[in-house]
C-alpha cells in the first residue's frame, strides 16, 4: 500500500489542522433541523456555545441522490433507524433546503464558525462552490465515486474523506484522485456507517494504521453514543472530530436518535481540550513543576552527628526524603559507607562529596 506525499498541515479557513494544532471539532447538522429553518439557526448557535469550530451541512435533494422507486434495491432494511422507508422518501425528509444554506453559512460565519458541506453530485458541488465554502466533505458512500472526488479535488479546497464503507483500495483510489488533481490537502476520517455504531465495531486502532499506510492527517466521524470514543480517538492521533448535533433527541428526526445534545457536545469539547493538554510531548523530559518536585526525591542525609575522622555507617547515613534540597543520590550509598568524615557533619544535613574521604 503506497504512502502518499500529502500535506501534514492543512489550512481550513482560519484554522490549521495538523499534529501540533488544536483538534478541529465539527458539529454535523445533517437532518436535525427537522425541516425548520429557525431550528437550524438554533443548532448553529448551540454549536458555537458548545465550543465547535465548524458546522457541517449536506447539500443534496432526493433526486440528486437516488430515484423514486419502490423496487427492493431502494428499500431500507437490515435493522436501521429507517427500515420500511425508501431511500427517496428518507432523503426527501432529511435534506437541507438549498435556499437556506447561504443564510446558514452567513449566520455561522457571523458567530465565528466555519461552515462547509458534503456535496453529492456536480450540481450540489457547483452550488457549494458558489458559497465559497472552505472545505469539501466526501461522504462514506461516495468514496467510490472517483469522478465526483476528482471534481471536488479540482476545486483546490481541503478534501475530507469519510471511510465508513471503504476498502483500502477505495481509500487509495480516492487519495490518488486528489493527488492527480494536484490537491494534497486530504484529511481521512475513520468512520463506521452504522447509526448508532456499536462500540465493538469502531476499531479506533485503525487510526494509526491508516495514518501510517497513507501518510495522511487522520480524524474521526463518529456515530457512537456519547463522547468516550472521540476522546479515545484524540489520544490515538485524530486531529478532527465530527459528531451529529441536535437540540434534543426527543425532538425526533431522521438523525436525532444518535445525535448529541448541546450539553453533551460541550462536555465532549471540554474533554478533548483537556486530553490535548494532557497528551503533551512525546519527548521524555521533566516539566518545571516536576523539576521542583524532584527536590523531594530520596537522597543521602546525615541522620546522626558525625565527628571529623569518624566512619560513615548505616547508623549515621540513610537514604531519606527531604522536603527540598538534596544530598548524594542513593545509588552512591554502598560507595560512601566506610568512608571517613572530612569534617564535622550534623544530623539533618545532606551528604555531599566533600564531606568524606
Q: Are residue 339 and residue 255 in the same domain, yes or no?
A: no
Q: Are residue 258 and residue 300 in the same domain, yes or no?
A: no
Q: How many domains does the chain have?
A: 2
Residue 76: per-residue pLDDT = 92
Residue ending a domain, among 279, 299, 315, is 279
| Torsion over CA: 279, 283, 286, 288 (sign) | negative
Residue 222: per-residue pLDDT = 97
Contact 141, 193 (CB under 8 A): yes
Q: Are residue 271 and residue 299 in the same domain, yes or no?
A: no
Contact 99, 34 (CB under 8 A): no
Q: Are residue 229 and residue 204 in the same domain, yes or no?
A: yes
Residues paired with residue 341 on neighbouring β-strands, in sequence order: 356
Q: Are residue 146 and residue 190 in the same domain, yes or no?
A: yes
Q: Per the domain annotation, does 319 fall within a domain?
A: yes
| Cis peptide upstream of residue 112 (ω within 30 degrees of 0) | no
* CA–CA distance, 58 with 255 (Å, rounded to integer): 13
Q: Are residue 273 and residue 299 in the same domain, yes or no?
A: no
Residue 285: per-residue pLDDT = 86
Q: Per the domain annotation, does 225 fall within a domain?
A: yes
Residue 323: per-residue pLDDT = 85
Over its length of 357 residues, how does the chain's per-residue pLDDT go in tens digits? 668 999 999 999 999 999 999 999 999 999 999 999 999 999 999 999 999 999 999 999 999 999 999 999 999 987 788 888 999 999 999 999 999 999 999 999 999 999 999 999 999 999 999 999 999 999 999 999 999 999 999 999 999 999 999 999 999 999 999 999 999 999 999 999 999 999 999 999 999 999 999 999 999 999 999 999 999 999 999 999 999 999 999 999 999 999 999 999 999 999 999 999 999 887 888 888 888 888 889 999 999 999 999 999 999 999 999 988 789 999 999 999 999 999 999 999 999 999 999
Residue ending a domain, among 279, 309, 337, is 279
Q: Are residue 26 and residue 115 in the same domain, yes or no?
A: yes
Q: Are residue 231 and residue 312 in the same domain, yes or no?
A: no
Residue 353: per-residue pLDDT = 96
* CA–CA distance, 51 with 40 (Å, rounded to integer): 17
Q: Are residue 112 and residue 246 in the same domain, yes or no?
A: yes
322: domain range? Answer: 288-355
Residue ending a domain, among 250, 279, 308, is 279
Q: Are residue 192 and residue 313 in the same domain, yes or no?
A: no
Q: Are residue 223 and residue 319 in the same domain, yes or no?
A: no
Residue 1: per-residue pLDDT = 61
Q: Per the domain annotation, does 72 fall within a domain?
A: no
Amino acid at each position: 500500500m503506497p504512502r502518499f506525499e500529502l500535506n501534514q498541515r492543512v489550512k481550513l479557513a482560519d484554522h490549521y489542522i495538523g499534529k501540533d494544532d488544536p483538534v478541529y471539532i465539527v458539529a454535523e447538522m445533517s437532518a436535525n433541523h427537522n425541516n425548520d429553518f429557525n431550528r437550524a439557526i438554533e443548532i448553529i448557535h448551540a454549536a458555537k456555545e458548545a465550543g465547535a469550530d465548524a458546522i457541517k451541512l449536506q447539500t443534496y435533494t432526493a433526486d440528486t441522490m437516488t430515484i423514486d422507486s419502490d423496487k427492493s434495491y431502494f428499500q431500507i432494511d437490515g435493522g436501521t433507524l429507517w427500515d420500511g422507508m425508501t431511500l427517496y422518501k428518507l432523503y426527501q425528509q432529511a435534506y437541507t433546503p438549498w435556499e437556506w444554506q447561504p443564510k446558514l453559512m452567513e449566520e455561522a460565519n457571523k458567530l465565528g464558525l466555519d461552515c462547509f458541506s458534503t456535496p453529492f453530485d456536480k450540481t450540489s458541488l457547483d452550488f457549494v462552490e458558489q458559497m465559497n465554502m472552505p472545505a469539501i466533505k466526501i461522504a462514506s458512500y461516495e468514496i467510490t465515486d472517483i469522478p465526483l472526488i476528482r471534481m471536488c479535488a479540482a476545486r483546490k479546497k481541503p478534501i475530507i474523506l469519510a471511510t465508513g464503507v471503504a476498502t483500502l483500495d477505495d481509500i487509495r483510489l480516492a487519495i490518488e484522485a486528489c493527488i492527480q488533481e494536484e490537491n494534497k490537502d486530504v484529511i481521512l476520517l475513520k468512520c463506521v456507517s452504522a447509526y448508532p455504531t456499536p462500540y465493538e465495531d469502531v476499531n479506533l486502532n485503525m487510526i494509526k494504521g491508516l495514518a501510517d499506510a497513507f501518510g495522511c492527517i487522520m480524524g474521526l466521524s463518529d456515530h457512537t453514543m456519547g463522547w468516550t470514543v472521540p476522546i479515545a480517538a484524540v489520544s490515538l492521533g485524530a486531529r478532527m472530530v465530527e459528531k451529529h448535533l441536535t437540540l434534543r433527541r426527543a425532538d425526533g428526526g431522521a438523525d436525532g436518535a444518535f445525535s448529541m445534545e448541546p450539553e453533551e457536545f460541550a462536555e465532549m469539547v471540554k474533554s478533548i481540550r483537556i486530553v490535548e493538554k494532557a497528551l503533551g510531548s512525546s519527548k521524555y523530559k521533566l516539566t518545571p513543576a516536576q523539576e521542583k518536585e524532584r527536590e523531594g526525591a530520596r537522597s543521602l542525609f546525615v541522620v546522626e552527628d558525625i565527628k571529623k575522622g569518624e566512619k560513615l555507617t548505616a547508623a549515621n547515613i540513610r537514604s531519606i526524603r527531604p522536603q527540598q534540597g538534596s544530598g548524594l543520590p542513593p545509588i552512591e550509598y554502598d560507595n560512601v559507607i566506610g568512608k571517613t568524615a572530612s569534617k564535622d557533619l550534623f544530623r539533618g544535613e545532606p551528604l555531599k562529596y566533600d564531606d568524606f574521604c
